[in-house]
Structure 1
Amino acid sequence: MKKLSRHELMQYGTAIISFLIVMTFTLLIFFWFVQQSVDKSVQNVLQKNTLQQKDHLELVLEKEYEFLESPAAYFGTTSDLFSNDNLQLLAELASSSSYHRLMLFSTDGIGHSSDGKKTDASSRDYFQKTLEGRRVISSPLSSSVDNETLVVLTVPVYDKDQNIIGVFGGSIDVTELTTMLFEDLYSGSGYSFITDPDGNIISIESTHNEIRKNFFTSSSDWVFQTSEDGATLQEDFKQGHANCRKIISDLSYARYISYQPLKYNGWMLCYIIPAVDARQPFAFINNFEIILFAFFICIVLLLIFALWKINQKNQTSLLRQAHTDALTGLLNKVYAEHTISEWLREKDFEDLQALMMIDMDYFKQINDTYGHATGDQVLKIFAGFLKEQFRATDIIGRVGGDEFMILMKNVRLDYSIHLHLQKLYTNLQNIDIPELNDQKLSCSIGCAVAPTDAESFSQLYRLADHALYTAKHNGRGRFVIYHDIKNQQETVLS
């Protein structure tokens, strides 16, 4: 390999100095950048997880509504809403469902529950809203008689004329549902709760007493990562905006809070988790010295690799230029002959190898009539045509002005060569070059086959050239295979 020139050394030196400057700057901003990047990634992951759990909770509630609507449709078809059969079905449904109890009301609010008790819901807000024809979920105060954090889900009961004749509903433990949502995340280290738009707690796990009746009141002394976070927190809840914020009241115990709006009653599903647990998937970044060292090594290797690739690219470009015919993009004469010779010399073949010499007919007339620019265009089109007619593994080269050389590798049968050349001539007639005024291209082909005719490249070349001379001598526009000459066979093609 030649020595680097002074100009090349200066280029490489400039690249290395630039790299060192960039690395120095990177070291100065590394710590800040990593912290910001990790925080952003953690918050994105938390938001995604909270969104998934919110969707799951809404799906669960949707299924619960669907469970209620099926019996409600049946009750609407019966003549007596509180018949013994209906009340018995009420009890059976409660025993086989997740509801604590089920309730069936008439339009005056008087009804029966699955535990056999009569109940009056006429003053309940959820009852009045259901009479308007809506699915309703109550606030926890509406079901406080169950001595748990329960909510009531209700659906209207319609008769056959689509008139509301009652309300069917059930009480369900919403805290149990929300606890199940996040229990598999971060080994259960976080906790979830639901609030209304004013921050009033709808449900929260009993093991966490940090937040009392109202979230806004309980979090009033919290310090967030930015003052903007604290100022807009309540606004997010009131407007139903999703977000994730970092709480840094105690630097040794930072936390994240992520929240997503539910489609029921303006409620907000919230999730709080210690920062150390939320950042656990990114814990490897804490070993920043190793990361930085590895980063430095990688950059150095990349720089060396880039320099090597530049050099290789230059070398490859030079080799390509040395091996390729500039006009057609095919192999040039020297490299085509070298490649074919090496192939024939180094391989022990069982199949036939067909060396073809191709000469475009009347090409000088095309040059003289239409000009050399058109002639060059014709050569390019013909070269592209040859590439289409042969396999990618075959060797195709331009060996002169309008002369081409092809080695068709590994042909099973001698007859296959005849068929392939016949197909080539047929396809050649389909080429339309507007500049030639409907004149069709024609070519003569001479072919010699190894090992039938000869084995070495020099012998095959001589025999194929002789076959080409015979094809041109006999009228052009045809192909001749050398051993066919010996058998006095010649194929003329249209």
Structure 2
Amino acid sequence: MVKYFKEKMVNDMKRKAIYKLSFKAYLKAMMIFIVFIMICSISFFFYIKKDIENESVNKVVVNTEKQTESLKQYIDIQYRYLEGVGNHISQQDLFCEDNINLIHSIKEYTKLENVGIIDKNGESHYDNGAVKNVSQREYFQEALKGNRVLSAPLESVIAGETRVIIAVPIYDQQKEIVGVIGGSYDIGNLNKIVFRGIYDGKGSAFLVSKEGQLITYNNAVKNKDFLASESIFSYFAEYNVLSPDDLQSLKQKWIKQENGYMTLNYNNKTSYIAYYPLKINDWIMCYNIDADVAQESYTFIIYAEYLLFALFVFALVILLFTIYKVNNKHQKRLLEFARIDALTGIKNKETLQNEISTYLKNDSSQQLGALFMIDVDNFKTVNDLNGRVIGDEVLKNFGSILKESFTIEDIVGRAGGDEFIVFVKDIQEHGNAINKAQEICQKIRNIEIDNFKGTISCSIGIAFYPEHGTTFKDLYNLADQALYQTKNQGRNGYTCYTK
């Protein structure tokens, strides 16, 4: 009875400790909630600013991509138009009167100028009647190889106007190249082709080579320093528009024909430059817009309110979840106390019986198992000589030895008093049970406790499953019989039940 009240007192003290821990955990959760709300409030305005920046940049990048694709499609239309004309021209003599009249009409109905038909020797007949040899021109040589050609600018950039040659090969009926047809085209005024109506024309578009050389630009480009620079890269470096690392990164991306954007800083003003490869002549389409202009169309007050509400709900969920986790952890600890023997820290009798019975009921493999019943020899004498405090230390040492000697899969517990039970689910063979019993006996004999008087030993009884029984009750009774046989034989040993 004294033992019972002592264990009850220990359990009560542990429960109070858990409740105290739970209160601290709840208090901590509330503090986290309050701090979280404060952080949400502070970060609210930061988020709005950051979100506007991200959305603005994304829009500039997407617009640049779309407009670049539009320009590519526009140039592709010119290619296909010339290829269609070339197919018609190839059906008769290249320089016949009908073909010359045809290219004259091209000038009247398209934006192409100086349209010419060129034979394989480089002799070119133009819509204005001029004749000259262009055999040394690069665009002619490329077209003769079967390529569509958009030439480099024929002259330096003047007042935003840049003329290029668009040329395609002429194929005969046998799919052999018999000549080239081409014309000059002004791609300087980009705002008539792309970026029309975007940001009310406040942005500037320009084409550059992958080396940063300016090819053409639209009328929105007003920066004289920019136009006079040797290249975009030299301008960025001279005016510290980009950091050295960002500038180097930009150069590498253009060489690799990658798309992206950079944030520029010029005269204490921030702007975005988005770039996208044209995939023609390794040219890059660029679009520059002031950050203030890119962001002015965004109104995020309503979205911010939604965000604040969402953050509040999220914080509440976090709080409730935290409370749930703390409570769940508390409940698990209480359940654990109900399952564990307070003195030794291993399973108590009820848990032992339930777990072993459940295993035996559900086991279909019928693999060899063993139930060990272990008693402390002469435990009453141990208590009488040493007192209950040291007696409890003996029991604790027993529990520790058994827990260390068996695997996590085995069921180890205290049945009450000085009686312990172990069920090994897979003992494999009888000899292993005997070896384990000898090991336990030796470890028990080696227990060392300060100021202990006398000796410590144990008696063990073993019953095998399913050989001796298939229920906890049967195995328990038979192992108990084997245990008493050990005691009758002088204790400090083991006995396996035999029929």
Q: What TM-score results when the alignment is normalised by the length of structure 1?
A: 0.53
Residue 103 of structure 1: aligned partner: 116
Contact 1:240 1:261 in 2 (8 A): yes
Tell me the CA shift for residue 201 of structure 1: 1.4
Q: Structure 1 residue 55 and structure 2 residue 69: aligned?
A: yes
CA distance in 2, matches of 1:86, 1:296: 71
Q: Structure 1 residue 24 and structure 2 residue 41: aligned?
A: no
Tell me the CA shift for residue 240 of structure 1: 1.2
Which structure exhibits the higher relative contact order, with contacts defined as CA atoms closer than 8 Å and separated by 6 or more residues?
A: 2
Contact 1:178 1:193 in 2 (8 A): no
Tell me the CA shift for residue 264 of structure 1: 0.6
Residue 200 of structure 2: aligned partner: 187
CA distance in 2, matches of 1:147, 1:43: 26
Alignment of 1:59-208 (within 5 A): 59-78=73-92, 80-141=93-154, 148-177=161-190, 179-208=192-221
Tell me the CA shift for residue 26 of structure 1: 3.5
CA distance in 1, matches of 2:123, 2:262: 46
Amino acid at match of 1:99: L
Tell me the CA shift for residue 266 of structure 1: 0.3
Amino acid at match of 2:36: V
Tell me the SS of whatever aligns to 1:152: strand
- Shift in CA distance, 72/197, structure 1 to aligned 2, threshold 3 Å: same
Q: Structure 1 residue 241 and structure 2 residue 258: aligned?
A: yes
- Shift in CA distance, 296/239, structure 1 to aligned 2, threshold 3 Å: closer
Tell me the SS of whatever aligns to 1:254: strand
Residue 454 of structure 2: aligned partner: none
Residue 232 of structure 2: aligned partner: 215
Contact 2:48 2:300 in 1 (8 A): no
For structure 1, the 5+ residue unaligned runs are: 1-6, 311-494
Tell me the SS of whatever aligns to 2:189: helix
Residue 276 of structure 2: aligned partner: 260
Tell me the CA shift for residue 222 of structure 1: 4.1
CA distance in 1, matches of 2:114, 2:263: 40
Tell me the CA shift for residue 308 of structure 1: 11
Tell me the CA shift for residue 169 of structure 1: 0.8
Tell me the CA shift for residue 86 of structure 1: 0.7
CA distance in 2, matches of 1:276, 1:283: 13
- Shift in CA distance, 144/209, structure 1 to aligned 2, threshold 3 Å: closer
Amino acid at match of 2:133: D
Tell me the SS of whatever aligns to 2:292: helix
For the pair shown, the structure with the greater C-alpha radius of gyration is 2
- Shift in CA distance, 145/268, structure 1 to aligned 2, threshold 3 Å: closer
CA distance in 2, matches of 1:226, 1:99: 42
Alignment of 1:263-302 (within 5 A): 263-284=279-300, 291=304, 296=308, 299-300=311-312
- Shift in CA distance, 124/24, structure 1 to aligned 2, threshold 3 Å: same
Tell me the CA shift for residue 116 of structure 1: 2.5
Q: CA RMSD in A?
A: 3.7
- Using the TM superposition, name which of 263-272 and 9-18 deviates more: 9-18
Contact 1:223 1:247 in 2 (8 A): no
- Shift in CA distance, 300/212, structure 1 to aligned 2, threshold 3 Å: closer
Tell me the SS of whatever aligns to 2:298: helix
Q: Structure 1 residue 230 and structure 2 residue 251: aligned?
A: no
Cα deviation, 1:142-182, whole Å, max 9, x if unaligned, reads: 69999941111101112222222211011112123455311
CA distance in 2, matches of 1:146, 1:202: 12
Contact 1:131 1:167 in 2 (8 A): yes
Contact 1:110 1:121 in 2 (8 A): yes
Tell me the SS of whatever aligns to 2:188: helix
Cα deviation, 1:197-248, whole Å, max 9, x if unaligned, reads: 2211111124524222632233223445765322212222222111101012
For structure 2, the 5+ residue unaligned runs are: 1-20, 323-499
Tell me the CA shift for residue 83 of structure 1: 0.8
Tell me the CA shift for residue 277 of structure 1: 0.9
Contact 2:153 2:164 in 1 (8 A): yes
Tell me the CA shift for residue 101 of structure 1: 3.4
Contact 1:105 1:112 in 2 (8 A): yes
Tell me the CA shift for residue 306 of structure 1: 9.6
Cα deviation, 1:387-428, whole Å, max 9, x if unaligned, reads: xxxxxxxxxxxxxxxxxxxxxxxxxxxxxxxxxxxxxxxxxx
CA distance in 2, matches of 1:299, 1:166: 69
Contact 1:142 1:152 in 2 (8 A): no
Contact 1:222 1:248 in 2 (8 A): no
Tell me the SS of whatever aligns to 1:212: helix
CA distance in 2, matches of 1:36, 1:148: 39
Q: Structure 1 residue 39 and structure 2 residue 53: aligned?
A: yes
